[in-house]
Amino acid sequence: MSITLRGVSKKFGAFAAVDDVDLEIPTGALLALLGPSGCGKTTVLRIIAGLETPETGQVLFDGRDATLWPIRERKVGFVFQNYALFRHMSVFENVAFGLKVKGRRERPAAGAIRNKVQSLLELVQLDWAGDRYPTQLSGGQKQRVALARALAVDPEVLLLDEPFGALDAQVRHELRRWLRRLHTELKFTSIFVTHDQQEAIEVADTIVVLNRGRVEQTGVPGDVYDLPRSAYVHRFLGQVNELRVKWHDGRAHLGPIDITGDPALDAYGSDRIALVRPHEIDIGSESNGWPAIVRDVRVIGPIVRLELCADGRPANEPLEAEISRERFDMDRFHIGQKVGVRFRRWQVYPAAALGIGRAVRG
Partner 1 sequence: MEAPSIAAGCDVSTGRRLRKRGPRQGVRWGRFLLIATALAFLAAFLLLPLLVVFAQALSKGAGVYLSAVSDPMAWAAIKLTLMVAAIAVPMNLVFGVVSAWAITKFQFRGKSALISLIDLPFAVSPVIAGLTYILLFGAHGWFGAYLQEHDIRIVFAVPGIVLATLFVTFPFVARELIPVMQAQGKDDEETALSLGAGGWQVFWHVTLPNIRWGLLYGVLLCNARAMGEFGAVSVVSGHIRGLTNTMPLHVEILYNEYNYAAAFAVASLLALLALLTLAGKSLLEWRQPELRHTVHLARATTGKQA
Q: Which residues bind partner 1 (CB under 8 A)?
A: 49, 51, 70-72, 74, 76-78, 80, 82, 84, 86-88, 97-98, 101-102, 133-135, 139, 142, 149-150, 152-153, 166
Nearer to partner 1, 136 or 324 (CB): 136
Closest contact distance (angstroms) between CB of 133 and partner 1 is 7
Residue type, 204: A
Closest contact distance (angstroms) between CB of 153 and partner 1 is 6
Nearer to partner 1, 102 or 177 (CB): 102
Residue-wise DSSP of 183-218:
HHHH--EEEEEES-HHHHHHH-SEEEEEETTEEEEE
Q: How far apart are CA 160 and CA 277, in angstroms?
A: 30
- Are 224 and 207 contacting, i.e. CB atoms less than 8 angstroms apart? yes
Nearer to partner 1, 50 or 221 (CB): 50
Closest contact distance (angstroms) between CB of 97 and partner 1 is 6
Closest contact distance (angstroms) between CB of 361 and partner 1 is 29
Closest contact distance (angstroms) between CB of 205 and partner 1 is 24
Nearer to partner 1, 112 or 299 (CB): 112
Nearer to partner 1, 16 or 264 (CB): 16
Q: CA dihedral defined by 91, 95, 100, 101, rounded to 10 degrees?
A: 110
- Are 195 and 37 contacting, i.e. CB atoms less than 8 angstroms apart? yes
Nearer to partner 1, 102 or 361 (CB): 102
Inter-CA distances, 197 with 33, 233, 234, 246, 324, Å: 10, 10, 11, 31, 22
Closest contact distance (angstroms) between CB of 127 and partner 1 is 21
Inter-CA distances, 96 with 71, 112, 258, Å: 19, 11, 66
DSSP H helical ranges for the chain: 41-49, 91-100, 110-123, 139-151, 169-186, 197-203, 221-226, 231-236, 325-331
Nearer to partner 1, 2 or 81 (CB): 81
Helix (H) or strand (E) holding 257: strand 257-258
Residue-wise DSSP of 225-242:
HHS-SSHHHHHHSS--EE
- Are 159 and 48 contacting, i.e. CB atoms less than 8 angstroms apart? yes
Inter-CA distances, 361 with 195, 227, 235, Å: 18, 20, 9
First to last CA, the chain: 42
Nearer to partner 1, 74 or 277 (CB): 74
Q: How far apart are CA 278 and CA 323, in angstroms?
A: 8
Closest contact distance (angstroms) between CB of 132 and partner 1 is 11
Nearer to partner 1, 161 or 322 (CB): 161
Closest contact distance (angstroms) between CB of 199 and partner 1 is 20
Closest contact distance (angstroms) between CB of 181 and partner 1 is 23
